[in-house]
Amino acid sequence: METARSAERQRTAAESRRRELLEAADRVVLRDGPQASMNAIAAEAGITKPILYRHFGDKGGLYRALAKRHTDALLIALRAALDAPADRRERVESTLDTYLAAIEARPQVYRFLMHPSDNADAAPSPEQGFDVGRHSAPLLRRLGEELGQVIAERVDLGPDSEQMARIWGHGIVGMMHAAGDWWLGDRPCSRERLVSSLADLLWGRLAEAGDRQGGPGF
């Protein structure tokens, strides 16, 4: 019994320490964006880099932990927008705006997650050769699967509805990512204009589809 309690205390302490390190990493990423290094994160956390490696393995492990942290928060916000008490068009626009508002509010975090660093550490380390693109693909795939599931639960797309919902989920995420990346870099129009234009692009088939019976509706 005492052994089990001790193991639980150790697990809780490790999880708490991991959260603290991720919060330190967040602060550095907000400051440095894609140039955030393990050295800077370790210094922010008040530890040495080997201790940081002990918790996350390498920059890829830290990246995946940060990606999960921010993707979880984004998915909660997207689901809230999809489930808001409004008509379907308003919810489509609100969902698009939620994504764009998130990347606009924390552009350095977005760039860290989606764009490779231009400034690798000078000393040889496991960070060198880190390929953000290789790691960001699973993040986008997860968003696509989650959005596809939400669509499948809410919209009746006729025969093969579940497969169609997955196609739409990945397609919408790809569209949001590509359009948002372009917009965040160039700012060619207002966020409101981009939201309205993307909603127009999506609206044709979605406007005609019925709500799934017994589902929460969309």
How do residues 82-103 score in pLDDT, each as one tens digit? 888 888 899 899 999 999 999 9
To the nearest whole number, what is the mean pLDDT of the chain? 84
pLDDT at position 123 is 39
Residue with tokens 């995420």, as numbered in its chain:
173
Measured over the CA atoms of residue 101, residue 169, residue 66 and residue 7, the dihedral's sign is positive
Q: Which pLDDT band, with edges at 50, 70 and 90, does 108 fall under?
A: very high
Work out the number of other CB atoms within 10 angstroms of the CB of residue 61: 15
What per-residue confidence (pLDDT) applies to 211?
A: 65
User: For the chain, what is the total number of helices (H) and then of strands (E)?
Assistant: 9, 2
Check residue 46 and report its DSSP letter: T
* CB proximity list for 165: less than 8 A, separation 6 or greater: 148, 149, 151, 152, 155, 157
Residue 9 has pLDDT above 60, yes or no: yes
* Range 31-36 average pLDDT: 90
Q: How far apart are CA 142 and CA 68, in angstroms?
A: 10
Residue 14: is its pLDDT beyond 70? yes
Q: 39, 26, 27: which is closest to 68 by C-alpha? A: 26
pLDDT tens string 114-140: 885 544 443 334 444 445 556 678 889
- pLDDT value at 143 more than 60: yes
68/135 Cα distance (integer angstroms)? 11
End-to-end CA distance of the chain: 49
Mean pLDDT for 179-191 is: 96
Could you give the domains of the chain?
64-211 (1.10.357.10)
Instruction: Say if CB 96 and CB 195 are below 8 A apart.
Output: yes
Q: 191-206, pLDDT tens digit by residue?
A: 999 999 999 998 876 6
Does 180 score more than 70 pLDDT? yes
pLDDT for 100: 97
Q: What is the percent of the chain where pLDDT is above 70?
A: 83
Query: pTM value?
Result: 0.81
For the segment 46-50, the average pLDDT, to the nearest whole number, is: 93
pLDDT in the model for residue 115: 82
Element (H, E) at 111: helix 107-114
121 near 38, Cβ under 8 Å? yes
The winner for highest mean pLDDT among 31-40, 92-101, 123-132, 147-156 is 92-101
Query: Residue 90 carries which DSSP code?
Result: H
Give the residue carrying structure tokens 């409004």.
86
